[in-house]
Amino acid sequence: MFIMEMGQMTLSTRIPIFSLYPHIRYDAHVLDPLANLQFTTNTYYKLALFIKQLARELCGGRCVFFLEGGYDLRSLSYSVADTFRAFLGEASISSKIDNPAVLYDEPLLLVDKAIAKIKAIHAL
């Protein structure tokens, strides 16, 4: 059931959902040359677990995946395989694959460091 609030009135409607159709962008992997994001194989595994649970709750577990992106073939193959491991109820093998050394600082951390440096320079 989806509930939408409009002012003081609450509208509650049942919307039938027959299947989820997630578009998973595998080019968000940290090793992918295009996206510059920090998804790992484990990120895709956890995302698939979430989608699996959502599909269970909304549409009897039915889910159709669309493969999009992914230009580093090694990370693509591992991430797709781990996505299906999640749906099959198998354990992730990402701890054997993912290398934390390839992750870089989040941009927000870099911004926070720059602000702290400016504050120190100007005694703020």
Residues 6+ apart with CB under 8 A from 109: none
Tens digits of residue pLDDT in 33-82: 887 788 999 999 999 999 999 889 888 888 888 888 899 999 999 999 99
The pTM score is 0.71
Residues, the chain: 124
Quick: pLDDT tens for 74-105. Answer: 999 999 999 999 999 999 999 999 988 888 76
CB atoms inside a 10 Å sphere around CB 24: 20
